[in-house]
Structure 1
Amino acid sequence: MFKKSQLYIGLFVICSGLSGVSINALADGGGSLAAKKMLAASTAQGQLGAIDVNPYGNAPLTAVIDLAGKHITDVEVTVHGKGENGVNINYPVDSETLQTHDGVPLFGLYANYRNNITVSYKLDGKKIVEKYKLQTGGISTKYNELMVRPFPEVEPITVAKGFEDRLYWINSQTSNRYHKDIKWANGGSLDWNYQSVNYITDTNGDIRWILDDSSFTDDQNIMGRGFIMGVHQVSNGEIIFGKGQKYYRMDLLGRMIKSLPLPRGYSDFSHEIREMDNGHYLIRAAKRNYVKPSGEIVTTVRDHILEVDQSGNLVEVWDLNTILDPMRDTLLVALDAGAVCLNVDDTLSGKKVKIEPDMPYGDIPGVGAGRNWAHVNSIDYDEKDDTIIISPRHQATAIKIGRDKKVKWILGAPDGWTGELATKVLQPVDSKGNDISCTLGKCDGDFDWGWTQHTSWLNKEKNTLTVFDNGDGRGFEQPAIPSMKYSRAVEYKINEDDMTVEQVWEYGKERGYDWFSAITSVTNYEADKDTMFIFSASAGLFNKDWTKPVLNEIKYGTDEVMVELQIHNAGPREPSYRALVIKPEKAFH
């Protein structure tokens, strides 16, 4: 007679198709020789265990080869390029990564393809090289009626020698005409709820990684809403980003490391999260139940900077309503009403924003807390003096603020600043230190401010500030013809002792309207290649048939194009937000 426990085990064996494994082998806790052989032989491709595709459910073009109880070292992985021009992805894997995943991570797989992979390692002091093949599925996406292709397509235009192995994360979106179905009662930007599209492309234009955010997205749940923004690869290779009411940390295999809500009383993350050297995060958010001097209670819009520790405790708050002048409208009244960040309405293209004193509260350009008066779209931290540098799109190119909540300097046109703030505006100078004269936002000589810019970030290697100057509202006006607009990547050198600023480099002006991005975009210095990385992320936004962002790497200090990729987004009026260089060697070693 079988004992009851033996009967259950026998049923498990039959249902699992493991009839070749003895009951005793399973009953002894998995420690028998037979069970070990079963695990080791679970793949016919090598001496390691089975391959688990998309092991954490968020990254379908990743996998893990199980260690099957083996202790290996000196691991190297190559995911081979597809076809003659395919790009190999190579990276080492350290012991910590092997232990974390109990296996060898496979990153950079092609979609809908039988991938070829080489893994080398040492086992018992002997070097082993194994070949693996792995089939993947197609790319899934969220479809809508405006799409002209199922997924963005990447067209390589220029790839200089030495840049072939570059990988770029594209942070984008698809159109969603019905996202504005939930609102805060008193303003705010809860209804900013676009469908996120995040993928990594190689320089051949092939998609090598996608993020499936379905496990942490729910349009009908306030905590699951939002648009993924502020993506950064931090020093240990992990990825941080925010979305709506939460912020996240994950690795390139899709393992979710951290998922935390904004501190209570704060809401509506978008645009930026940065990791500080001490492990804290700087987050751009808004304040709920904010009491104005008049006594009115509102939800503010993109005007608070939060510092939280690794556990999500709130360490510091910068309330820009009390630091800057929320009633300054000098630039606001010059904005193109057709594109105020991702609030795009091409029927208003070329028309100026109208500011009324009794405007409703909400995510609209206007003055005062409760409206989109500041629109901070980037943050950086300067550890030299414990200050933050913000990019307030609707106020100035960049503003530096101390922990004491005092403004250190303002990079932007001096028009409209009053009182103590007026004394903080930097004076433009030429390369010889001579003052450059500026009137109504227009400057003599080789200098211009950034207008409705994005990513005012420090270039710490060169001691400069890099900016993507979108160019809307340039000179506090809209041009006679919209096609006269242009964008620039620009670099400034700031002398804080003399309170002066020099423009030392620019790129993009000569490319004109085809390269113009009314909104979004990024400029960042890449030290490993000594390049300026630029993503003109909404080029072609007002073309009714397509939006074609342009990704570039430019040799530092020149206009020499080392990389140019043309992104063909899935449909019209679909801007991307940012892009960044991804380095798998940081993630796994």
Structure 2
Amino acid sequence: MKKLIMGVLLGAVVAGVVVFLANADGKEFGYGSGGEEEEGERTVEGDSEMMTEQEGINEVIQSSYSQGEYDLNEPLVIEDPYGAAPLTALAKFETEEAQEITVTVQGQNGGGNISHTFDGYETEHEVPILGLYPDHDNTVVLEAENEDGDTSETELTITTDPLPDNFLNTELIEADKERMENGLTFVVPSGEYAYGVDSNGDVRWYSSMPNSHVFQRLENNKLVFLTQKVEQSGQYNLILEMDMLGQVSFGSYIDVTNFENWGVVHHDVIELPNNNFLATDHDGSGYIEDDMVEIDRESGEMVDELNMKDIFPEEMYEDYDGPSSDEGDWFHQNAVWYDEHDEDILVSSRHQDAIVDMSYPDGEVEWILADHEGWPEEFQDHLLEPQGEDFKFPGGPHAVMTLPDQDENPDTTDVLLFDNNIAVVRGDENQSEEFSRAVQYRINTEDFTVEEVWSYGEERGEEFFSNIVGDADYLEATGNRLITSGHAFGEGDDLHSRIVETTDDEEAEVVYELKVSGFEEGESRQAYRAERMPLYPEEWEFNLQNE
């Protein structure tokens, strides 16, 4: 094996030398901090700076490769080629006849191998290596198979550095590997390192670029990733599309002149059916976290906007006196979800204790899932009527999503969300803060009724209560639920995040549980969400030309 050590974080290429740029140093970012009252100017523009820098990195790789002869037994190996994913590498080599390549990183301590076959028979090979352990001499096997079924292989050793000193701690509590959904569990922070752990709780991937809130796989099998335009600025304002090696293929930068705090893009970015992004942002007014912009995936510029102040009456935001009212944070939109069945969007409002279904881009409200207290007269007919004696409306909710059809009834829609159960401006104050939960509601859109059909969390009481942040995901292969109570206090004020995978049974069983710690209150480094997905996407045709 011949190695080319890149050691960059999207570094500048100067006279053929790749220069390392420092990572974020764990600077504290205040959760929910807002902007100034005076009007500011917002700009949304494409950003190709990282792609340009990566072109220089690719040129270094190609130049080094052209100066040698690299085959299966002696490949060129570039560790962390883009300085963005330290537990990855790239192997580049050629074979005399067309071969199909399988790469395997061998597991340790009973952990599973991470393996992937790149479909197709080629003679030139650029093979991403994912799933390395930190601080370890990793054994990596490259296997080549020709079209006659004959195989050959080589074994590599790739040595990795330890995790950063300020990395979060991940403790495995339980793992029933036979009943878990396949894939790594990716911990998505409010600020700092996004990372993935296997069923043993071992870190097998992380990004050295700071991340906040936004990390999910797209239809093209790449990631949407929210980071900082200028590292250590504290402002998360750069939306990237990139692969698991850190190769960037799209960037959009949002700047708001009167906003100096952390979350310019603050909670969510989703992919619309037209391929554009829809991002929660600030509009430059004296109110925050109540706006969304649609971003063109070609230009990176804003092509549409939807603002909650244009939907709800003035008194709702002018008279709001709940948490963060002095910062103009009357709505606090923390999630947006596109419902393919109804072709509309669902938004989650923490400070209105509500889930709102509306058309997009018009913003015509269809229904509101919230306690009926205090809503303006014009929205009374949109409020869902609860069914059942033990029904509870959500309080300070997060992470709403629609589920696949659950009852073969075209008039119903099932939604899953994380109910923090904190009554912000409305709701049941008698139960508030006693627990948090994942809950599935069934909504009949014909008669405007809603019932609870499943939940998990009440039985764990205050140990599962998260006053901020949280997530609940439906896992399609098993029907399991992945639940994140992101800001929970245990015994002795033990602040931590707890990630739990349960079955969908009426009395749900835990099949996987992680405890994430190592952060303090106010740092905003907790787990905001968790995602379960294979480390390698199903289809990935990597090439240095980024085509």
Shorter-normalised TM range: 0.7 to 0.9
Are positions 1:530 and 2:547 aligned together?
Answer: no
Are positions 1:564 and 2:509 aligned together?
Answer: no
Q: Label 1:324 to 1:96 Cα distance change in 2 as closer, same or farther (>3 A).
A: farther
Q: Label 1:152 to 1:533 Cα distance change in 2 as closer, same or farther (>3 A).
A: same
1:318 shift after superposition? 1.0
Are positions 1:133 and 2:157 aligned together?
Answer: yes
Residues 75, 92 of structure 1: 8 Å contact kept: yes
1:119 shift after superposition? 2.2
Q: Label 1:465 to 1:39 Cα distance change in 2 as closer, same or farther (>3 A).
A: same
For 1:254, the equivalent position in structure 2 comes to: 246
Equivalent residue of 1:196, what SS? coil
Q: Label 1:330 to 1:469 Cα distance change in 2 as closer, same or farther (>3 A).
A: farther
1:542 shift after superposition? 9.7
For 1:237, the equivalent position in structure 2 comes to: 221
Q: Label 1:57 to 1:47 Cα distance change in 2 as closer, same or farther (>3 A).
A: same
C-alpha distance in structure 1 between counterparts of 2:387 and 2:420, whole Å: 22
TM-score normalised to the size of structure 1?
0.70
Q: Label 1:74 to 1:558 Cα distance change in 2 as closer, same or farther (>3 A).
A: farther
Paired AA for residue 421 in structure 1: F
1:588 shift after superposition? 4.7
Give a deviation string over 1:76-104, Cα, whole Å, max 9, x none: 22211112x222212222359998xx511
C-alpha distance in structure 2 between counterparts of 1:266 and 1:116, whole Å: 51
C-alpha distance in structure 1 between counterparts of 2:154 and 2:88, whole Å: 18
Residues 62, 107 of structure 1: 8 Å contact kept: yes
Are positions 1:196 and 2:192 aligned together?
Answer: yes
Residues 366, 382 of structure 2: 8 Å contact kept: yes
Q: C-alpha root-mean-square deviation of aligned residues, in Å?
A: 3.1
Residues 474, 482 of structure 2: 8 Å contact kept: yes
Aligned runs of 1:146-545 on 2, under 5 Å? 151-163=168-180, 166-172=183-189, 195-213=191-209, 228-243=212-227, 244-262=236-254, 268-288=264-284, 290=285, 298=286, 300-311=287-298, 312-325=300-313, 327-328=315-316, 353=323, 364-365=324-325, 371-403=328-360, 404-430=362-388, 445-462=389-406, 463-473=413-423, 476=427, 485-540=434-489, 544=493
C-alpha distance in structure 1 between counterparts of 2:319 and 2:427, whole Å: 6
For 1:185, the equivalent position in structure 2 comes to: none
C-alpha distance in structure 2 between counterparts of 1:472 and 1:457, whole Å: 20
TM-score normalised to the size of structure 2?
0.76
C-alpha distance in structure 2 between counterparts of 1:275 and 1:96, whole Å: 32
C-alpha distance in structure 2 between counterparts of 1:157 and 1:111, whole Å: 22
C-alpha distance in structure 2 between counterparts of 1:525 and 1:98, whole Å: 41
Equivalent residue of 1:327, what SS? helix
1:314 shift after superposition? 2.3
Of 67, 79, 102 in structure 1, the residue corresponding to residue 105 of structure 2 is: 79
Equivalent residue of 1:328, what SS? helix
Paired AA for residue 517 in structure 1: S
Q: Label 1:407 to 1:71 Cα distance change in 2 as closer, same or farther (>3 A).
A: farther
Give a deviation string over 1:433-486, Cα, whole Å, max 9, x none: xxxxxxxxxxxx121111101011111343410010001127646569x9x610
Aligned-residue identity in percent: 23
Residues 331, 395 of structure 1: 8 Å contact kept: no
For 1:555, the equivalent position in structure 2 comes to: 503
C-alpha distance in structure 2 between counterparts of 1:97 and 1:467, whole Å: 45
Q: Decide which moves more: 390-399 or 311-320.
A: 311-320
Paired AA for residue 184 in structure 2: L
Q: Label 1:303 to 1:62 Cα distance change in 2 as closer, same or farther (>3 A).
A: same
For 2:118, the equivalent position in structure 1 comes to: 93
Q: Label 1:452 to 1:543 Cα distance change in 2 as closer, same or farther (>3 A).
A: farther
Paired AA for residue 308 in structure 1: I
Paired AA for residue 525 in structure 1: Y
For 2:128, the equivalent position in structure 1 comes to: 105
Equivalent residue of 2:416, what SS? strand
Give a deviation string over 1:300-356, Cα, whole Å, max 9, x none: 3110112222122323211100102453389976x6xxxxxxxxxxxxxxxxx5xxx
Q: Label 1:38 to 1:577 Cα distance change in 2 as closer, same or farther (>3 A).
A: same
Q: Name which one, 1 or 2, has greater alpha-carbon Rg.
A: 1
C-alpha distance in structure 1 between counterparts of 2:121 and 2:288, whole Å: 42
1:390 shift after superposition? 0.2
Q: Label 1:557 to 1:324 Cα distance change in 2 as closer, same or farther (>3 A).
A: farther
1:571 shift after superposition? 3.0
For 2:81, the equivalent position in structure 1 comes to: 55
Q: Label 1:97 to 1:578 Cα distance change in 2 as closer, same or farther (>3 A).
A: farther
Residues 121, 147 of structure 2: 8 Å contact kept: no
Q: Counting strand residues as a fraction of each chain, which structure ranks higher?
A: 2
C-alpha distance in structure 2 between counterparts of 1:48 and 1:74, whole Å: 17
Equivalent residue of 1:67, what SS? strand
1:587 shift after superposition? 5.4
1:70 shift after superposition? 6.1
C-alpha distance in structure 2 between counterparts of 1:96 and 1:519, whole Å: 50
Residues 284, 305 of structure 1: 8 Å contact kept: yes
Residues 158, 561 of structure 1: 8 Å contact kept: no
Residues 112, 137 of structure 1: 8 Å contact kept: yes
Residues 182, 533 of structure 2: 8 Å contact kept: no
Residues 164, 203 of structure 1: 8 Å contact kept: no
Residues 87, 164 of structure 1: 8 Å contact kept: no
Q: Label 1:89 to 1:253 Cα distance change in 2 as closer, same or farther (>3 A).
A: same
Equivalent residue of 2:446, what SS? coil
Q: Label 1:167 to 1:263 Cα distance change in 2 as closer, same or farther (>3 A).
A: same
Say which structure, 1 or 2, has more relative contact order (CA 8 Å, 6+ apart): 2
Q: Label 1:133 to 1:263 Cα distance change in 2 as closer, same or farther (>3 A).
A: same
1:384 shift after superposition? 3.4
1:123 shift after superposition? 4.5
1:397 shift after superposition? 2.7
Q: Label 1:97 to 1:472 Cα distance change in 2 as closer, same or farther (>3 A).
A: farther
Residues 391, 455 of structure 1: 8 Å contact kept: yes
C-alpha distance in structure 1 between counterparts of 2:122 and 2:333, whole Å: 36
C-alpha distance in structure 1 between counterparts of 2:176 and 2:318, whole Å: 42
C-alpha distance in structure 2 between counterparts of 1:129 and 1:562, whole Å: 40
Paired AA for residue 457 in structure 1: M
Q: Label 1:259 to 1:472 Cα distance change in 2 as closer, same or farther (>3 A).
A: same
C-alpha distance in structure 2 between counterparts of 1:331 and 1:564, whole Å: 44
Equivalent residue of 2:379, what SS? helix
Are positions 1:40 and 2:70 aligned together?
Answer: yes
Equivalent residue of 1:536, what SS? strand
Q: Label 1:164 to 1:319 Cα distance change in 2 as closer, same or farther (>3 A).
A: closer
C-alpha distance in structure 2 between counterparts of 1:80 and 1:164, whole Å: 20
C-alpha distance in structure 2 between counterparts of 1:540 and 1:76, whole Å: 44
